[in-house]
Amino acid sequence: MALSESQIPPDAQHYLVCGTEDCKNNCQFYCNDCHLPLCEQCRDEHQKNEKTKNHEVVPYKQRKRQLPVEKCKIHPTKEMVILCEECQIPLCYKCTTTKEHHGHVFTDLEMVFDEKVSLCQEEIAKIRNYFEPTSHDLKKDIAGDVTEIKKIMEGLRTSMKAEAEVVKNLINTVTSDKIEQVDKIEQSLLETLYDQNQNIDDYINYLNDLIKTFYGYLSPSNIEQLTFALNSENLIIRPIPETSKPVPPVFTAGQYSKEDVAKLLGRLTVPNIKPVNRKIKPMETASTELKPTGKQKKQGRKKSDVTKTLSLSPSVTKVREYKVPGVYIVYHVSLGKSGRLWVSNDIGNLVQTDLQGNQLQKIQTSGGYGYHTVTQDEDLICADKQNKVIIRITQNNTITEFIKTGDWEPLSIHSSHINGDILVGMIKKRESKVTRYSKTGKEIQIIQRDNKEQGLFSDPHYITENINGDVCVSAYRNHAVVVVDKSGQHRFSYTGQGSEFNPFGICTDVLGQILVCEYYSSSVHLLDQDGQFLSQLLTKQQRVKHPYSVCVDDENNLWMGQFTNRVTVYKYLQ
């Protein structure tokens, strides 16, 4: 159902039907006198009609805004259509004749309203074409500075640790030399003590021999022998050998403080330089005209240029909706450049349809959540968790098993739009990881733990990649969206807005925004690429019922699958 003109913001891209009765064509023109949107055919008839041929018919974007109908409070049957310039209040025609406004100057309120609307449009255009994108550019600069500062600080830490290691090695060398000196002194002292001990042993042996001799003298065999024994010279005992107590060395501990150690190492200084303000481009260089239509964008700009002009629409518009045959719950959607859509449910039915919902193919798989993706070459890639393999199905229906995941069960998969790499979320018992493969199936990278060796995610059942190379994982059991950079370093985790967060399908758009389904609250959350919550893009008010899956096409439309057999398409960027 098309929206009425009053429901649509003045510069939104939308589908507005002609206002002529029974005409369903797209509106392109507007009659300022009738305040009526017209298609090209009805415009021609309007200008041929005798009653309306002199009406002012203009392109729709150049239309005058219709004055809101408001009754006069003094004269309830009359509408306020006049502005008293002196009192600056709206009046009806009858009020102009009263004495309160006698002699005052009056202006057509519709003309004033149209001027105000034009001013508002100009300000809106300035905000969307200059202030908002310039602010986003500054955010990107800041994010780049964050990355650079982290890199510089990590380099400082590495240099400090390396210098400390050199000092440690020098300390170890000096300590080894001193210990070697202690060993030599010990050896010398012990040798002296061993010599003294040997002298005492020799002396004790001498005493024992002497005792035996004297015992022999006590029973002499002849008088001559006794006479010899009584000789005073033979009764002299040698003195005890002298010994000395060794003097060991003394260790005097060094006198130093933390400051003394700090002086040995390099110093960290912050330059006394005033930070330079980032340059903000002047408004004169930014066009403040209203954005062109979608067709003009496609004809005259490349994708990168379109990205610079896109912004979040004030309202989300439902574009179309259709049933998908062969499924009753849309667990996951994958969209190729050809516009053909792959849809899967919870029992492994994988169905390909055209944009009218007509079934083109149906494949029976082992099923899962975000387990299929479409490559840059329009091939379908599926994760077979039962057989622990990744399957490629080409456009001519050639099926190959080109990646084996060993002991790990593959749960989710995404084909990079940046370089064609394949990202696979896997589990094994209570462990989880994301593995990056090249487009030929060669393992490139494993993302599993943070800097504290803690697991980054559990149950990575949906996965995608952002325009800056961030890997975004919808981890249901973590109750979080976990985002790591392309090197695998944890950037942030988003855990919802207060109540328990139960994320399912996830995707990103050309602005780097992250869209994720929240199952129980029946909403789609919109985050910026740094994890800041922007809005609940879709809610129960739009009749969303337990969303499971999302993806964004090349026209920047949001495709959503939910707890039905329908796929709904929305326009949310302009």
User: Is 107 inside a domain boundary?
Assistant: no
| Alpha-carbon distances, residue 81 vs 64, 73, 101 (angstroms) | 15, 13, 15
Distance, in Å, from the CA atom of 488 to the CA atom of 189, rounded to the nearest integer, reads 61
Residue 343 scores a pLDDT above 80: yes
Average pLDDT over residues 405-423: 92
Question: Are both 557 and 440 inside the same structural domain?
Answer: yes
Domain boundary among 44, 62, 80: 62
Site of tokens 């001990």 = 197
Do 12 and 294 touch, CB atoms closer than 8 A?
A: no
Question: Are both 196 and 153 inside the same structural domain?
Answer: yes
User: Is 193 inside a domain boundary?
Assistant: yes
Do 440 and 375 touch, CB atoms closer than 8 A?
A: no
In 219-324, alpha helices (H): 223-229, 258-264, 294-300, 303-309
Question: Are both 300 and 168 inside the same structural domain?
Answer: no
Question: Are both 329 and 464 inside the same structural domain?
Answer: yes
Task: Find the CATH number of the domain harbouring 24.
Answer: 3.30.160
Instruction: Give the pLDDT of residue 415.
Output: 93
Residue 390 scores a pLDDT above 90: yes
User: Is 477 inside a domain boundary?
Assistant: yes
- pTM of structure: 0.50
Instruction: Give the pLDDT of residue 350.
Output: 92
Task: Find the CATH number of the domain harbouring 548.
Answer: 2.120.10.30
How many CB atoms within 10 Å of residue 496?
18
How many CB atoms within 10 Å of residue 470?
20
Question: Are both 127 and 222 inside the same structural domain?
Answer: yes
Question: Are both 383 and 496 inside the same structural domain?
Answer: yes
User: Is 173 inside a domain boundary?
Assistant: yes
Do 457 and 478 touch, CB atoms closer than 8 A?
A: yes
User: Is 484 inside a domain boundary?
Assistant: yes
User: Is 339 inside a domain boundary?
Assistant: yes
Domain boundary among 62, 78, 109: 62
Residue 286 scores a pLDDT above 50: no
Instruction: Give the pLDDT of residue 256.
Output: 83
Do 46 and 32 touch, CB atoms closer than 8 A?
A: no
Residue 305: pLDDT band with limits 50, 70, 90: low
Instruction: Give the pLDDT of residue 295.
Output: 38
User: Is 169 inside a domain boundary?
Assistant: yes
Residue 515 scores a pLDDT above 90: yes
Question: Are both 477 and 544 inside the same structural domain?
Answer: yes
In a 3-state reduction of DSSP, which class is residue 82? strand
Residue 50 scores a pLDDT above 70: yes
- The 10s digit of each residue's pLDDT in 186-223 is 999 999 999 999 999 999 999 998 888 777 777 656 66
Question: Are both 246 and 307 inside the same structural domain?
Answer: no
Question: Are both 314 and 203 inside the same structural domain?
Answer: no
For residue 420, what are the contacts with CB-CB under 8 A and spacing of at least 6?
375, 376, 438, 439
Do 264 and 167 touch, CB atoms closer than 8 A?
A: yes
Question: Are both 236 and 344 inside the same structural domain?
Answer: no
Do 63 and 30 touch, CB atoms closer than 8 A?
A: yes
Between 102-111, 383-392, 525-534, the lowest mean confidence (pLDDT) is in 102-111
Residue 309: pLDDT band with limits 50, 70, 90: low
Cβ-count burial of 10 within 10 angstroms (0-12 exposed, 13-18 middle, 19+ buried)? middle
Range of the domain at 450: 292-573
Number of domains, the chain: 3
Question: Are both 259 and 305 inside the same structural domain?
Answer: no
For residue 424, what are the contacts with CB-CB under 8 A and spacing of at least 6?
383, 390, 403, 405, 410, 412, 413, 434, 435, 436, 437, 463
- The 10s digit of each residue's pLDDT in 532-571 is 999 999 998 888 989 999 999 988 899 999 988 889 999 9
User: Is 79 inside a domain boundary?
Assistant: no
Between 1-15, 130-144, 261-275, 394-408, the lowest mean confidence (pLDDT) is in 1-15
Question: Are both 303 and 259 inside the same structural domain?
Answer: no
